[in-house]
Amino acid sequence: MSQPLRVLLAEDNLNDTELVLRALRQGGFDPNWHRVETEQDFLQRLTPDLDIILSDYDMPTFNGPHALELLQHSGMDIPFIIISGTIGEDVAVEMMRLGATDYLLKDRLARLGISIRLALEQGQLRRERAKAAEALMQSELELRELTTELKIERAHLTAAQTVAKMGSWDTDLSTLHVIWSAETYRIFEISPEQFQPTHQKFLELVHPEDRTAVDLAFAQSLDQHTVNALEHRLLMPEGRIKFVEEHWQVFHDEQGRPQRALGTCRDITGRKLAEAELRWKTAFLEAQVCASIDGIIVVDQQGRKILQNERVAEIFQIPRHIADDQEDGVQLQWVTSMTANPAAFAERVHHLFTHPHEIGRDEVELKDGTVLDRYSSPVVGTDGEYYGRIWAFHDITARKKNATALLESKRFLQSTLNALTSHIAILDEHGTIIEVNAAWNRFASENDFRGAHRGIGDNYLHLCDASTGRFSEEAALVAAGIRAVMAGSQAEFHLEYPCHSSREQRWFVVRVTHFGGEGPVRVVVAHENVTERKLAEEALRESEERFRQIAETIQEVFWITDTSKHQVLYISPAYERIWGRSCASLQSTPQNWVEAIHPNDRDRVQHAAATRQADGTYDEEYRVIRPDGSLRWIRDRAFPVRDARGAAYRVVGVAQDITERKRSRDLLHEQASLLDKARDAILVRHFEHGITYWNKSAELLYGWTAEEVIGRQTGDLLYRDLAAYEQAIAEVLGHGEWTGELQQITKSGAFILIEARWTLVRDDAGRPQGVLAINSDITDKKKMEQQFLRAQRMESIGTLAGGIAHDLNNVLAPILMSIELLRMTSRDERARAVLSTIETSAKRGADMVKQILSFARGVEGERMVINIRHIIQDMQHLVQDTFPKEIVFRAELDKELPLFSGDHTQVHQVLLNLCVNARDAMPTGGTLTVSATSLQVDDNYAAMTPGSIPGRYLKIKVTDTGIGIPPEVVDKIFDPFFTTKELGKGTGLGLSTVLSIVKSHGGFLNVYSEPGNGTTFSVCFPAMDAPEGEVAKVQADTHPRGNGEMILIVDDEAAVRTITQQTLETYGYRVLTAADGTEAVALYSMHRMEIAAVVTDMMMPVMGGQATIQVLQRLNPDVKIIAASGLSNDGSSARAAAMGVKHFLSKPFTAQTILTALRQVLSERS
């Protein structure tokens, strides 16, 4: 079947066009094509869905180079092939350099099909590489984000552990001696100086009803190996009960006898009380629901019924068997069927279910005429989480019937309006007057209002907006107030304004309020004549103005009472601002002053007011509770007013709000406490007086208490070398602040690396006084950075070594294969001896390449189940037989050791290299210890150890008592070719090989050394659950021969092709060879029916092995392929296996290896 192909053909000759189309069809394509001759047509037909562009080099008005330039400017990735009858080789090369995919002469169009297929394959590979690069970049971004999140989560976890309040205890089961932590004493409310805990004394503190159960649980736990948990009560001395939660575990000796019990205890009284309160609230809620006159249903997030009262069944006439049915859909179906419009009811239920945070309210009519007000609200927790929904159904049938009665009352309303003296008008939502009362009409008539100024039908807002003259300002305010009430931004509006006539002075108050009821927005505008009240207020205001100007300008509350406190004669407006209550309420009910005082302060203040106000010594601070529940701190002072006889007849006082002053004072105490809780070390150093502040974290970091360091100089205390410290101080003095890293010393003499953030502290005059230092310990962080840098350096060196190893393998492969052919034809013993020497040298070179590969990327040798005991026993014999007698070998192995999967030879090499290094580190003798144990790696250990993942490992330690490794050398010991040994005594590959082998087995390696105290290498291999034994591998001893089958050899190395061809022909095969993938595809296309198998290298220029395999499989899905590579760990075998290739050869390979592989692949069924 022909392959569809979308083609854009730039060609001016119709005959040449037909030749190209014929070549495409002969090449297996079904072209969908368009021919263009000009730049405009080319651009019009240039679309991203094209598969290929074929262009003549030169045309009358257009040419190939310009078409290629237009394609490149478009950014489209479409293969571009030049087809011409006159193009020269130099021009073709230049076109390929400019970006053309290929070029063909018109008299050689037979290659057009192959050229197009190769171009399509290369384009696909190019796009796949781009996608892979984009995916890799995205993965790197996600990794960086994950690392940042991990650091944040680790900081959160550390803070949570710091503030967790949990006691601990430790019981020696042989002596029953008990040790409590300070937190445990606090939980039991007992002083450590007054109480020495024992098991018996502990039981005496347990509530009598729980004592037997606690003692029995502890006794039963002695034979258990798991963590035990128990909740019980404590009986406190004053009879109070406290709940605690205990967790403990008993530890046993090797004979299984209990030795120690370690446990924790936590005060859970608050949780128990909260649980009881929750149960009470739940019962109260259920009682409320059941007692409601409305039908109420409560459902969870999935719509499942949680709670429902009987009223629901009454409203919807639900039969008992349906109401009790556990299937919620049955009841919902019944309820829906009872409504007058089931479809609308069901649609509304579904809508609110799919919009969980929406509140719903509407009316539902039932078939029997009942009308329900349906209200549905989501249940949302304080955390914003959606937990379910409440449905409430209220019967409003009676209310609907009353609507008719409300219409009857409209006439009564009109009569009532007409009886009022205020001038009243009702406006619709546009401001048009729709109703007025009689007083409105009388006022309009008396003041000669006519036409549009009279009443109903006039737009009151327009009249106000158009007002001019002396009342225009008031008219504009009234219009704005009406609009604000209509919009809902203001509940009501009122304005007092003058409306003087030629006969008298008049004042009116206009009030605007919402008109009650349903329907469109309407407002009521009422004008009331307040002239009499206004005149009276003016007279009163003048008399009180001078006193109020004084009292109302002060921030404090000024008050006057009689001596009996039964009457408040005056209270200034500041009372309303501070107390949150009106002055009028206090004057009408003086007892409100006492009731506002906080209950804990009330008796003290009342006593002081009764005993000390008369003599002028009353001065109290107390709290008042405002109506909104907030608290205010008050300072209240009182002074008596005496008559001529000296008797007090009034009391005047001033109350001051001191809340902010108290809050500032508390904030200072809180900030000081927070500094002590900070994780960073915070200290203040005065230039003259030394250290003046030292927080708790500084005590933990440096080891000195605050009492030990106050007054001392930080330079003398924390530094061995003052140069960096003095430079940092200079930076602070010069710039006001400094950030950087410093090495400091702790009380124990240990060196730490800190990240410092220092700020200059100045006095009020701006003079430098000292330094505020915030120091963070980054010692462990720096160690981790060094480990990651070392791993990155090894990866870069490994990549370089891997490339060298690949080229060496290609050199060694033909040598090893040639030896076997030469030995078959040679009868001269001397020549055969020379061949043996060559073979030995070549194999030694191959082994060296494998060693390079092992430290470059790890190796994939033959894996089997390994019992490390056998290898360590072999190593012990080797050491005792070959090492100096001054070196003592000691093996320390656990009784039960896990097995693991690995290459036996490579693991043996790891131990041998480490033991030899240990020997060299002990020139005068010492002890060489090899130990093995099981190690369980958790998430925390893995996060701190590069190369490890959580799981079970076999841990092998090689420890010597030698000279140790200097700190400046430790970071370089795993670098290839690095050695500290004398010339000729070391290659520098030993530890590099060890590290690569360990990494290739999925393990990791650590080293610890102290100069003069020896070195320990710890090697960890992933453990497995498998029976002991090894997987035997049987190899054939004879060279399988061919039966005349044709084999295609694809390799860019001529030597490899030649010797492989000679070997296969010697053993009965016919051979074709190709130098790259392009040539291989062409040969396979011509000899497809004859070629029985293909042997291809995976790393070749032009077209690599992977692309070659893909093209061959498309030509023949059943093609038999053997893949080969000079690198065993470059991912080639995995990629080949993913494409269905079952056989893979690692270079250099012998004749036996390739002949056996060919026999296996040819014997397999297609």
Distance in angstroms (rounded) separating the CA atoms of residues 95 and 89? 10
- H-state helical runs in 589-721: 592-596, 599-612, 659-677, 696-702, 706-709, 714-718
pTM score over 0.85: no
- In CATH terms, the fold of domain 675-777 is Beta-Lactamase (3.30.450)
| pLDDT for res 799 | 65
| In contact, 348 and 372? CB cutoff 8 Å | no
pLDDT score recorded for residue 955: 94
Instruction: Give residue 968's pLDDT.
Output: 77
As a CATH number, domain 554-573+592-648 is 3.30.450.20
> Contact, 111 vs 104, CB < 8 A?
yes
N-to-C CA span, the chain = 22
Rounded to whole angstroms, the Cα distance separating 913 from 877 reads 15
For 305-322, letters b (16+ CB in 10 Å) and e give: beebbebbbebbebeeee
DSSP assignment letter at 198: B
Largest CA distance in the chain: 152
> Which residue from 933, 998, 928, 934 is spatially nearest to 959, judged by alpha carbons?
928
- Assess contact for 1025 and 952: CB atoms under 8 A: no
Assign domain 403-535 one CATH number from 3.30.70.3340, 3.50.50.60, 3.30.450.20, 3.30.470.10. Answer: 3.30.450.20
The pLDDT score that the predictor gives to residue 1027 is 40
d(CA 958, CA 1016): 6
In 951-1000, alpha helices (H): 967-970, 990-1000
Q: Is the dihedral of CA 207, 209, 213, 215 positive or negative?
A: positive
pLDDT tens digits for range 499-530: 877 777 788 899 999 887 677 888 999 988 88
- CA 480 from chain centre, in angstroms, equals 52
Residue 834 CA to residue 850 CA, distance in Å, equals 24
Q: Which of 1142, 1132, 1151 is nearest to 1069 (CA)?
A: 1151
Helix segments in 3-111, DSSP class H: 14-26, 39-45, 64-74, 89-98
What pLDDT is recorded for position 1127? 61
Which fold is adopted by the domain 787-1022?
Answer: Heat Shock Protein 90 (3.30.565)
Q: Please state which CATH number belongs to domain 3-125.
A: 3.40.50.2300
Q: What is the structure's pLDDT at 497?
A: 86
Cα 37 from chain centre: 58
Report the helix count and the strand count for the chain, using DSSP H and E: 39, 42
Residue 6 confidence (pLDDT): 94
Instruction: With beta carbons less than 8 A apart as the criterion, state whether 726 and 741 touch.
Output: no
Q: How far apart are CA 13 and CA 83, in angstroms?
A: 12
**What class does CATH assign to 167-267?**
alpha beta
Q: Are strands 648-657 and 690-694 parallel, antiparallel or unpaired?
A: unpaired
What does the block give as tokens for 1086? Answer: 């011509």
Q: What is the pLDDT of residue 956?
A: 96
Report residue 938 as tokens.
């958790």
Half-sphere exposure of 488 (CA within 13 A, CB side): 2
Query: By three-state DSSP, how is residue 549 classified?
Result: helix
Please state, in angstroms and rounded to a whole number, the distance separating the CA atoms of residues 1094 and 157.
Answer: 58
Q: Where are the domains of the chain?
A: 3-125, 167-267, 295-395, 403-535, 554-573+592-648, 675-777, 787-1022, 1046-1163
What's the CA gap between 295 and 318, in Å, rounded?
A: 12
The DSSP element (H or E) to which 619 belongs, if any, is strand 619-625
Domain 787-1022 matches domain 1046-1163 at the CATH topology level: no
Helix (H) or strand (E) holding 654, with range, is: strand 648-657
> What distance in Å separates the CA atoms of residue 1093 and residue 764, rounded to the nearest whole number?
91
Q: What confidence score (pLDDT) does residue 795 get?
A: 65
Pick from 3, 2, 120, 1: nearest CA to 54? 120
Please identify, in words, the CATH class of the domain defined by 295-395: alpha beta
**pLDDT lower than 50: segments of the chain:** 154, 157-162, 451-453, 668, 855, 859, 984, 1027-1037
Check: CB of residue 623 under 8 Å from CB of residue 635: no
d(CA 794, CA 855) in angstroms, rounded, equals 9
The pLDDT assigned to 934 comes to 93
Structure tokens belonging to residue 289: 């629901």
Bridge partner list, 932: 893, 956
Residues in contact with 134: Cβ distance below 8 Å, sequence separation at least 6, in sequence order: none
CATH fold for the domain made of 1046-1163: Rossmann fold (3.40.50)
